[in-house]
Amino acid sequence: MYCGSVEDPLGPVVPNPMNQLRMYRWRSSRKTWHRVSPDYIDDNEDEVPPSTIDVVTWNVSFDAPFCAQRMEAALKHLEKSVFRCRGGEAPEPCIILFQEVHQAHGLPAILKNEWVKEHFLVTPADASKWPEDALYGNVTLVEKSIPVTDAHILEFGLSAMQRTGVMVDIRLAAAKPHDYDVPLRIINTHLESLPVGNEVRPEQLKLLSKFLKGGGVRGGVVAGDMNPIGPHDAEAPENLGLRDAWRKGDEDERGFTWGEQPKTTFPAARFDKILYLPRRGYRMDAPRRIGVGLQIHNERAQGGKLWVSDHYGLAAKLHVQR
């Protein structure tokens, strides 16, 4: 399946393949993850979905050592410190967007995690829908109280780095009781990296923004590692009609998400963003950083410690009002 195309500045029109995804849930009776059947939504129709959810985005760094241990530490941080769950209890309604999940080490660590198995739907649960030869990709976790109506993965045609957008359509309840069906789309993305991606990133974001404006949804969120280092990246969201949940701009150090774990020869910057389509009926709070100072202990690592990720994560609340 193909969805639209973009023109390569160097020549031909390039298609953007898009494929259906299925959500997966842990089936304890069979001790395996299985695809959610189409009647899963019907089973939950009588339950009022939440009106407020947490949106979390976190690049978990595929190329640092000890991927599985770092992924386990990231999940523990979310469970214990971000959502303050005790004894394996469920978190508040939330959607967790991971980027740079290592196919061989990070993804299995997610699927083995007991907290995830008990409380989340996951997509994708394997790498079969990632671009061919992709070593890492995006994975989305949806807390089970949030109804999911559809999911897709969009492969950017103009990407030398196998980058994608994972889209999950959800239903939330309006705060007013007359309307319990507010369809929103949550997009988990990792835009092209490095200066070689300067001309490509705005086109990738432009393509994703169209999916927040299309039929079937009221709007939604696109979040992830935006790699905004090029001359056109700063103004791209506003030019596309998107609003940044962080209101203080790119120069405020309190918003920086990369370049401090560890310090690098490049200046620290706000690589990770939560953007949304500003439409009446819902709003986003300003994000807070998570994973600040988070390390694992491993005697094989230099100095016995290693950062869980070179990125901080972000967490922000989305409120549906009407």
Total count of residues recorded for the chain: 322
C-alpha triplet 318, 321, 322: angle, nearest 5°: 130
| Helix, strand, or coil (residue 245) | coil
Residue type, 81: S
Looking at every residue in the chain, the average pLDDT score rounds to 92
With 0-12 / 13-18 / 19 or more C-beta atoms within 10 angstroms meaning exposed / middle / buried, residue 292 is exposed
Number of domains in the chain: 1
The tens digit of pLDDT for each residue in 256-311 reads: 999 999 999 999 999 999 999 998 889 999 999 999 999 999 988 888 999 999 99
pTM of the full predicted structure? 0.94
CA atoms in the 13 A half-sphere facing the CB of 50? 18
Full residue range of the structural domain in which residue 143 is found: 2-39+46-320
> Residue type for 232, please?
H
* Structure token pair of residue 52: 């407020």
- CB-based contact 278:213 (threshold 8 Å): no
Give the pLDDT of residue 301. Answer: 85
116's CB contacts (< 8 A; 6+ apart) are: 26, 75, 110, 122, 141
pLDDT above 90 covers a percentage of the chain that reads 84
CATH number of the domain where residue 100 is located: 3.60.10.10
User: Confidence band (pLDDT; 50, 70, 90) for 243?
Assistant: very high
